[in-house]
Homo-oligomer: A and B are copies of this chain.
Amino acid sequence: MEEREISKAVVKRLPLYYRYLGDLLEQKVERISSNELSHQMKVTASQIRQDLNNFGGFGQQGYGYNVKYLYNEIGKILGLDKTYNMIIIGAGNLGQALANYVKFEKRGFRIIGIFDVNPRLSGVAVRGIPILMTDTLPQFLEENSIHIAALTLPKNGAEEVAPVLVEHGVKAIWNFAHTDLNLPDHIVVESVHLSESLMQLSYNLNCANKNEEE
């Protein structure tokens, strides 16, 4: 009831606050004002205070914000106080890169299986996580409660496997395939489109050149 709808722009900044606060924590900084933080992050102090007040009053007048407290609170807002079972579909370089990234584990994202269609990968393990064959996926999903599936396989494969995942109770999909998955509204889809990111870079690169020429 008290929940207002939080805009995407705000949600996108939350992990950023979390990262900067984590850095400050490492540097043993105890407290910080919205003004100081705004200089470091290159956003406005006003925006920081507005963003945070969507979720409650975490600061104190005349003092600012306690770094450790705010860090933990944002962690909770992001759901990092919980643990999630995650699988990776597609054991190529990208899938293996995700599997090897140990920091996810620390934040509560437990990778418990990697799936691929290539029989040569059967039985191989990445950082102790077994690579399983995709045809055993439905059974695996029945036997294990999986919250998140990362799709690191080509477009067609991703479009095929996504409905299977949803059907077996997967709630969120981290999509690296070059397609917008068409799934029911209650499924959370977060996409990372690498080639689109590279195209934005190339657009900006050409812009920059153009401006120089003028």
Q: 1/0 contact trace for A134-154 toward B, CB 8 Å?
A: 000000000000011000000
Partner of A188, one of B18, B96, B205, B210: B205
How many residues of chain A get a CB closer than 8 Å to chain B's CBs? Answer: 60
For A118, the chain B residues whose CB sits under 8 A away are: none
- Most chain B beta-carbon contacts within 10 A, residue among A12, A42, A190: A190
- Most chain B beta-carbon contacts within 10 A, residue among A188, A194, A199: A199
- Assuming the contacts A82-B206, A206-B82, asked whether A201 and B178 have C-beta atoms less than 8 A apart, the reply is no
- Most chain B beta-carbon contacts within 10 A, residue among A77, A174, A178, A202: A202
Complex: chain B residue closest to A202, CB-CB: B79
Contact of B195 with A15 in the complex, beta carbons under 8 Å: yes
User: What is the total number of copies of this protein in its complex?
Assistant: 2
Q: 1/0 contact trace for A18-60 toward B, CB 8 Å?
A: 1100000000000000000000001000000000000000000
- Interface residue SS majority, chain A: helix
Contact of B203 with A174 in the complex, beta carbons under 8 Å: no
- Assuming the contacts A80-B199, A94-B94, A201-B148, asked whether A208 and B12 have C-beta atoms less than 8 A apart, the reply is no
- A1 and B97 CA atoms in complex are apart in Å by 45
For A3, the chain B residues whose CB sits under 8 A away are: 210
Contact of B196 with A11 in the complex, beta carbons under 8 Å: no
A78-93 with Cβ < 8 A to chain B: 78-80, 82, 84, 92-93
For A93, the chain B residues whose CB sits under 8 A away are: 93-94, 96-97, 100
Contact of B192 with A194 in the complex, beta carbons under 8 Å: yes
Contact of B203 with A78 in the complex, beta carbons under 8 Å: yes
Complex: chain B residue closest to A196, CB-CB: B15
Contact of B199 with A14 in the complex, beta carbons under 8 Å: yes
Partner of A174, one of B171, B172, B197, B208: B197
Residues of A within 8 A of B (CB): 1, 3, 6, 11-12, 14-16, 18-19, 42, 77-80, 82, 84, 92-94, 96-98, 100-101, 103-104, 107, 109, 147-148, 171-172, 174, 178, 180, 186, 188, 190, 192-210, 212, 214
